Amino acid sequence: MPMKSKRLFVSLLLAALPLAAHAAPSLEQSRFSSLDAKPVAMSAYKGKVTVLNFWATWCGPCREEMPMLNGLRKKLSPKGVEVVGVALDSKEQVEPFVKQLKIGYPILLGNDDTLDLMRGLGNKTGGLPYTLVLDRSGKIAATLTGKLDEKKLEAAVKPYL
């Protein structure tokens, strides 16, 4: 490669570095909204072991695991566990769905950064469902991709009770 071409290549590479360094949003800085349009920060769940489940109304495995998540919340809530769903759909799609399935845990609405957040937290493909277990300080203790059963999720939560 001629010297002029090498310089041009290096210059373009250096110019692109700030773009590559754009950080994915962090979980601590993420803001979601409740179904009644109130902003919710993840810091609201500090002090509890939190199961944070990313899902969508069109996702079959997401729908299938929701009754288990409801049951797990009832079972482990007295031990300081909270289950929180983050929907990747609009409020208009989510509200009737939540009522139909009788979801008893808090549902938050994702935003334009939610897919980037998931990818930054290890879900490179953006696959759903995607579940995080956060310890009582709000740090990620486990990441789980795909449909979960109660035994697997309970095993991921148990060390942090």
Q: For 132-146, how does the pLDDT look when each residue is reduced to its tens digit (9 = 90+)?
A: 999 999 999 999 999
Cα gap 77→90, rounded to integer Å: 28
Instruction: Tell me 54's DSSP state.
Output: E
pTM of the full predicted structure? 0.84
Report pLDDT digits (tens) over 69-114: 999 999 999 999 999 999 999 999 999 999 999 999 999 999 999 9
Could you tell me what percent of the chain has a pLDDT over 70?
84
Confidence of residue 18 (pLDDT cuts 50, 70, 90): very low
**For 85, how many CA atoms within 13 A lie in the half-sphere containing its CB?**
27
Instruction: Tell me 129's DSSP state.
Output: S
Q: Set out the domains of the chain in order of their start, with CATH numbers.
A: 24-160 (3.40.30.10)
Whose tokens are 């897919």? That residue is 115
